[in-house]
Amino acid sequence: MQKKEIRPVSLRDFKVQDAFWLREMELVRREVIPYQWEALNDRVPGAAPSWWMHNMRAAARANAARRSGKTWHISKEAEQMRFQPLPEEGQAPDPDSFYGFLFQDTDGYKWIESVSYQLMRNPGTGLETLAQEAVDAICAAQEPDGYLDTYYTLGVRSRAFSNLRDNHELYCLGHLTEAAVAWHQATGKTDLLQAACRFADYAAGILGREAGKKRGYPGHEIAEMALVRLWEETGEDRFLELAKYFIDERGQEPSYFALEEQERQGLPRPREASAFAYHQAHRPVREQEEIVGHAVRAMYLCSGMADLARITGDETLAAACRRLWHSAVEEKRYITGGVGATHLGEAFSRPYDLPSDTAYSETCASIGLAFFGRRMLQLEPKSIYGDVMEEALFNTVLSGMALDGKSFFYVNPLSCEPEACHQDGRLAHVKPVRQKWFGCACCPPNIARIVSSLPAYAFTVSDDTLWVHLYVAGELTVTLNGEPLRLRVTSELPWSGEVELTVLEGRAEGTIAVRLPGWSREPRVTPLTAATVLIPSDDPETAMDAKGGSERDGYLYMTGTWAAGDSVLMNFDMPVTPLQALPQVRELAGQICVRRGPLTYCAEGKDNGEMLHLWRIPPERVGETWEKTMVIGGVPMIVLEVPAIRTRLPEKEAAPLYSPWTPPDEEEDTLTMIPYFAWDNRGENEMRVWFRT
Amino acid sequence: MQKKEIRPVSLRDFKVQDAFWLREMELVRREVIPYQWEALNDRVPGAAPSWWMHNMRAAARANAARRSGKTWHISKEAEQMRFQPLPEEGQAPDPDSFYGFLFQDTDGYKWIESVSYQLMRNPGTGLETLAQEAVDAICAAQEPDGYLDTYYTLGVRSRAFSNLRDNHELYCLGHLTEAAVAWHQATGKTDLLQAACRFADYAAGILGREAGKKRGYPGHEIAEMALVRLWEETGEDRFLELAKYFIDERGQEPSYFALEEQERQGLPRPREASAFAYHQAHRPVREQEEIVGHAVRAMYLCSGMADLARITGDETLAAACRRLWHSAVEEKRYITGGVGATHLGEAFSRPYDLPSDTAYSETCASIGLAFFGRRMLQLEPKSIYGDVMEEALFNTVLSGMALDGKSFFYVNPLSCEPEACHQDGRLAHVKPVRQKWFGCACCPPNIARIVSSLPAYAFTVSDDTLWVHLYVAGELTVTLNGEPLRLRVTSELPWSGEVELTVLEGRAEGTIAVRLPGWSREPRVTPLTAATVLIPSDDPETAMDAKGGSERDGYLYMTGTWAAGDSVLMNFDMPVTPLQALPQVRELAGQICVRRGPLTYCAEGKDNGEMLHLWRIPPERVGETWEKTMVIGGVPMIVLEVPAIRTRLPEKEAAPLYSPWTPPDEEEDTLTMIPYFAWDNRGENEMRVWFRT
């Protein structure tokens, strides 16, 4: 098959009818987005203010003042690049000062992006009015030269772009751009798109390889993939060039971050580039072998790299993407699709270091892994990418949000003892219950934007092919070889693997490729149409399997003339399966976890009593597991009753801490396991994913 | 048996002939003490200076200047209670400034104490001359009013005793006192004893319950047990009273530490006492149920409490000692006799939280546990105290020092991957190789002083009874009922459990009680004398065992007339034994370690290859272990060849990180295990104590 441009479907082209995902999307629309709007406006009682609207409004006033020739008062703290102390209880904030994190502007950008995705699904709701208010505030906050970062606009503007490593201006550019593209797609309005273009042009005027420019690039990546979207949306090549420059320049010697630091602090000599692994700037991206540093940044960078590799056909860059994927997924990934094992730097740890209780596994990093996976699927459709993207979405991404959409996890451990988290500073980063909102509120709006745009992860298309990566029920309109086709997907994933794809309307020649999930041991795909033929056997890369299917890289390719009435029946078996990790993973030696379909399961104290470490699961008996439906947080779901063995506790006081080994005093019992994403929805209690065998 | 004053034997009364311990004591005498003298004088090339002699000499000059009416120059840093910045490379330090930690004075005090113990064993060596130089320096540094802390003497003296919680003056008093008592016992000289008495009197003049005094007590305990020794040495009751006041006042409401902080910092209201658990000052000591906070401090406090409980007969205090012992030993102790599981605050963690790799298990805390154990043996001779004291000494205390006496561990983990320690900030406190010296040099001199005074842990006596707690070979002179008796102990512990105790000279009536070690499954004790009788059966607490022995609390009591030629043969079997932890210990579920006699064993990468977590030990096959002699670091020792099973690593690239469980690919092999104390004497490599079964 020749190389084709593969892109996600438009959210407009898919009508979600999926019981599971529609509920999540509606939760975001009804709960998360309105709550976040209140948060952006500092109107949530008892929650830390976001300061987003405050900062935007103040920046607009600063611009207006400066336009009319007035001097804008800058606080002493801002003068010294220190943060404004928060107002004392009962005191009003200084209306002219910037509050919150350096990257606070992005809170609202992400919110606008989520709203836009929801508007594509449900146009004309009142959300557009709210979002327009936010968009107007942003446009008013933009400085006349295109610069847009309220921290500097309200502080010492002359120091803008003097600390790209730490000060997140290009991160703000990236999120602004993502929001602007989504807002444009949803409403056709160009206001925010122009703001993003102007800020991008401002950045391009300062940064680059040309004489007189700084050779800077983002300290926190995202602008790379955002600028690709801006290029796609506007067709303006200069945005693609800027993205490419950011990718290519990153990690070159002499290190820009080091030079910048030297200049800023008057250091005698710059540091080596290798000091900047946290930022993935320790060496040029094409030379990076291992995924390192801040996990969200790393995943965002890789997403941008995969975009660029696809668009430019740069095989060296594609190879780097594959290496970094392998490093992230096959050496540093949790079985929940979480990445970033250490809270120190919110970062990837060394290979195979995957502790359960001190895990960081930030929700946003898992979202980033899904971004990366989707882009690898655009680069080269292989089911390994789809498997991991699906795993991340169904497990850690959803774990990040309570089933009622009202509280959130930033950190997603694989075992949790609430008492330990409360008492132990070594677990200070692990919260045993989801939080309403965070000062650093990156995760909740990030969940909102990925859930709201789920169809873009489920389906990609090229001129003549539709790829189905995730089996999300709904109606899809695609164009194959210029002919429109309307299809229906029925699916009850993640609970059942029976999927049907039916052509409702139209007639088109082309290929439909369906992912054969890695979790299905005997996937059966039956095209119920004479028109479809399996992909030609003269393609040497395509093997015909025993059932006559035509499979390549984990996708079944079906080519022919598709017309109303055609359908494809799929039956992906999802046996309850004990999984093991490679022996290299110290933490998991002699342990298993339980998987069913795309869902990783966990046990909670609520169902099983505390001290979950007393249980072990004989792997050969997992097949006897009894599946039943239980309602958790109002959501019916399949829970597992797994045959297991529990060690009895000795009588208190009787036994010494250490004693000669005796055969363990154990009893057979049934361990109730629930989907990992549903944990901690019934009050604070113990949780555990991995069990001794 | 009526209550008797039980005291350790004098070091003068025991001539060490024990192959194992004599080597350690000589190592301290020949390597550690001379090295530390150089360190105290900042003469070790490449090592961080101790500043001890520097500070003492500067303080002496300050005193002389003030005596002659001159103003002593105080640096700006000292004025503001900040530390003096260390001199730049090649620059001379400011001769008048204090350098180092607040408690730097104690480095030299501990050194003098070690030297004194060595002098009791080997009088008249050149060490006395060196130590006299140190003693003279201390006496000259003492201020005319008795105050002795060079940090304040060289800084703002008027702020002395204004921050007892953090600033360690009473900790310095404690170590000064320990040194003074030892120096007096060793040399008969009263110079340092007088200095200690004067400083103690100074403290008593300021602190106490009387009107006008501050109700303060030590932020870092040790003065409590040191003042008891000062009372024993001088007979002056006021020192016992001061110790008692410190113990009784600790943790009372309103919290002195809180009041002091409020006064110092002008806080609006004082904190609750509960904030001071780190200092064991969260509630009165008699009400403490759980051992908490900084482990060394906790152990030193408990040692002082046990002293006081014995001397005053305070049953409530004794009960608190027993509770805290139980909490420390049966809920929070490593199988190596280490305590203090978390590096955060160098502290006890919650019950049963005993991680192997992130363990703190500070050498000094284990020394403190031995202090506490010896004092509990003086309070009530029960073998549980002796077992744990022996475990601490043979494992963590000795692990703290390299076999060549030239480098030291501060932290003693139970598993160690050097690469992880190098790369992972979460393990920053764990050093995979022993260090030459530490800026905070508490552990090396603490090892020196306990090893040098080992006989005081091996034997205690009352008027009519000798207790043998540790079987250390040598010749002992004791007085039973006024009659002297010279005895010889022969022993090859920790390698063999055959022990003989022979009366060489004298004739006395009385009791000899020998500890039946907890690690011996079938201890056999045979008195080869008609004179000894087993303790009378009219003592209801004493049970006669099946072999006719008379055992109470794990000691065999033998009473009669002892005369030259009498002997007791003991055979303590020491089978290689797999030990398990209580199921409550999450970290150790399904794991065992290997013990032989008092020694905990570990495996090193050196003998077994890296990735020690791939090994498991079937407990039922530990009995087939083959014992052999190996020389490590010049020391012959019994190492174990344990039947074990190793998981094979899959072919690289072939296997995914997670896969459906299959029976493990394993092979039988032999795991070489060495005594824990001997680990890391053959270069940096992996180590592990606990193994899956």
* A278-307 CB burial, b ≥16 within 10 A, e <16: bbbbbbbbbebeebbbbbbbbbbbbbbbbb
User: Do residues A692 and A580 touch, judged by C-beta distance below 8 A?
Assistant: no
ipTM of the complex: 0.94
Q: Do A424 and B353 touch (CB under 8 A)?
A: yes
The pLDDT, as a whole number, for residue B668 is 97
> Which of B331, B417, B656 is closest, CB to CB, to A330?
B656
Q: Is B615 helix (H, G, I), strand (E, B) or coil?
A: strand
- How many CB atoms are closer than 10 A to CB B124? 7
What does chain B come to in residues?
693
Flag residues of chain A having pLDDT under 70. Answer: 1-4, 437-440, 530-549, 652-653
Residues of A with Cβ-Cβ distance to B693 under 8 angstroms = 661
Peptide bond into B254 cis (omega under 30): yes
Burial of A543 (0-12, 13-18, 19+ CB in 10 A): exposed
| Known catalytic membership, residue A421 | no
For residue B412, give the nearest of B480, B360, B456, B343 by alpha carbon: B360
Q: Nearest CA to B359 among B389, B337, B388?
A: B337
Chosen from A658, A687, A689, A691 to mutate, greatest number of chain B CBs within 10 A: A658
Contact B399, B363 (CB under 8 A): yes
Chain A CB contacts of B658 under 8 Å are: 335, 579-582
CB atoms within 10 A of CB A277: 20
Tally C-beta pairs within 8 A across A and B. 128
Q: Which two tokens stand for residue B511?
A: 């009791």
What residues of A are in contact with residue B666 (Cβ under 8 Å)? none
Q: How far apart are CA A555 and CA B278, in angstroms?
A: 60
Q: Do A611 and B649 touch (CB under 8 A)?
A: no
Helix (H, G, I), strand (E, B) or coil at B77: helix
- Active site residue: A346, A390, A417, A686, which one? A346
Q: Given this model, what pLDDT does residue A92 score?
A: 87
Q: Which residues from A are below 8 Å from B424, CB to CB?
A: 342, 344, 349-350, 353
The β-bridge partners of B262 are none
From the list B624, B626, B627, B653, the residue with the least C-alpha distance to B638 is B627
Instruction: Name the CA radius of gyration of chain B, rounded.
Output: 26
Per the structure block, which two tokens stand in for A118? 């929801």
Q: What angle do CA A342, A347, A351 make, to 5 degrees?
A: 75
Residue B571 buriedness (CB in 10 A; 0-12 / 13-18 / 19+): middle
Cα–Cα distance measured from residue A275 to residue A255, given in angstroms and rounded to the nearest whole number: 9
The 3-class secondary structure across B109-134, one letter per residue, is HHHHHHHHHHHHHCCCCCHHHHHHHH
Q: Give the C-alpha distances (Å, rounded to integers) separating B303 from A549, A597, B283, B370, B373.
A: 77, 58, 18, 9, 8
Beta bridge partners of B489: B474, B501
- A424 Ramachandran zone, left/alpha/beta (phi>0; psi -120 to 50): beta
Contacts (Cβ under 8 Å, ≥6 apart) of B461:
B6, B7, B8, B9, B467, B478, B479, B480
Predicted TM-score of the model (pTM): 0.93
pLDDT at A85: 82
What gap in Å lies between CA B262 and CA A366, rounded to an integer? Answer: 46
Q: Are A525 and A534 in contact (CB under 8 A)?
A: no
The pLDDT score that the predictor gives to residue B123 is 85
- Contact across the interface for A581 and B658, Cβ inside 8 Å: yes
Catalytic residue selected from A172, A364, A421, A442: A442
Yes or no: say if A32 and A39 are a contact pair by the CB < 8 Å rule: no
CA angle at A390 for the pair A384 and A393, rounded to the nearest 5°: 140
Token couple for A266: 């008057």
Nearest partner of B189 among B132, B240, B273, judged by Cα: B132
Q: Name residue B599's beta-bridge partners.
A: B596
Among B342, B658, B667, which would you mutate to test the A interface (most chain A Cβ atoms within 10 Å of its Cβ)? B658
Residues of B marked active site are found at 346, 442
What are the 10-residue block averages of pLDDT along chain B, 693 residues in total?
73 96 96 93 86 96 93 84 80 90 93 97 88 98 97 93 95 98 97 98 97 96 98 97 98 93 82 88 97 98 98 97 98 98 95 96 97 98 97 97 93 95 91 78 88 97 96 97 97 96 95 95 85 55 49 91 92 97 96 98 97 98 97 96 96 85 96 98 97 97
Contact B583 A330 (CB under 8 A): no
Helix (H) / strand (E) element for A324: namely helix A315-330
CB A345 within 8 A of CB A429: no
Q: Is A492 part of the annotated catalytic residue set?
A: no
